[in-house]
A and B are shown apart, each in its own frame.
Chain A
């Protein structure tokens, strides 16, 4: 099973600043990785798939990069609605696995 390790666990950022979230896989693979955002009390929402492709309707301030084992989600200028928990998920090999999440909070 591929273990996905996200860091940091919590990221404190001021509105308008850049946030950089990391996701490291225990085994290397190319690009079968997705990022999701979960706001409090809401279902997760797909942000990025195939490591770097934005999902439909996702603002351009969200970008994904990297290839196994290191992946990055960057939010270029944090808006109030971006304070949430972010999860990475690999779909390269069974069983597909999620990271434990990074909480982005207001500094």
Chain B
């Protein structure tokens, strides 16, 4: 069964670092883009960024560029989202999701999130 298993809830203080994980099982992790989506309390979904594990090609949403790092370890089929210095505004649920889609003739990828993890709640509070 295809599944994304996310790491558990985290509580941190402002200024601390954090790395959360998302382990893929039941499908070929290398050959599917995988991404992260933020949901702040009571709010909608925000696309953070995606990574292609086979070559680590990574794209970030402009609101998240430089603020988070997305990475992947193909040896353990796991994607990561990390912060070097958290802020209170990072309090949210973070979902990982794998993508399906298509490529155009120039090699650009057009994808939608078709398999979701259950989410990792992150609380940042003094």
Contacts and interface: CB of A to CB of B under 8 A. Distances in A.
Interface of A: 1, 32, 34, 36, 38, 43-46, 49-50, 55, 85, 87, 89, 91-92, 94-101
Contacts of B119: 43
Interface in B48-81: 59-62
Contacts of A95: 47, 59-62
Contacts of B60: 95
Given A45-B116, A101-B45, 14 more contacts: A43-B116, A43-B119, A44-B45, A46-B116, A49-B101, A49-B114, A50-B112, A89-B113, A91-B112, A95-B62, A97-B47, A98-B46, A98-B47, A101-B44
A46 B110 contact: no
Contacts of B116: 43-46
Interface in B88-126: 95, 97, 100-101, 110-114, 116-119
B44 A44 contact: no
A89 B47 contact: yes
Interface residues of B, number: 22
Contact of A91 (B44, B46, B111, B117): B111
A46 B112 CA distance: 8
A25 B101 CA distance: 20
Given A43-B119, A91-B101, A100 B111 contact: no
